[in-house]
Amino acid sequence: MASGAIGLLLGFLIGLGCRWFDLPLPAPPKIVGALLVVAMTLGFLGADWIPVG
């Protein structure tokens, strides 16, 4: 749970820094690309819940 919160906070801070310094955002500019990043992140976090062996 803590790692998810840290990840969200880190993502927010990176986005804030990119906006503040007028840097290109390190993410796809289209909504489909952004949803792909969200889906990959949720899949990565969800894999921790699957019991192994």
Q: How many domains does the chain have?
A: 1
Helices assigned H by DSSP within 1-53 = 2-20, 31-47
Which domain does 31 fall in, by range?
A: 2-47
Q: What is the pTM of this model?
A: 0.49
Is 16 inside any structural domain? yes
Spatial neighbors of 25 by CB under 8 A, at least 6 apart, are 15, 18, 19
Instruction: Tokens 């993502």: give the residue.
Output: 11
pLDDT (average), residues 40-50: 78
pLDDT tens digits, one per residue of 10-42: 777 777 777 788 877 666 677 877 777 788 777
pLDDT (average), residues 42-51: 78
Is 12 inside any structural domain? yes
Strands (E), 1-53: none
Which pair of tokens denotes residue 41? 């992140």
Is 17 inside any structural domain? yes
Is 53 inside any structural domain? no
Is 35 inside any structural domain? yes
Determine the Cα–Cα distance for residues 9 and 4; give it in Å rounded to an integer: 9
Q: Residue type at 36?
A: L
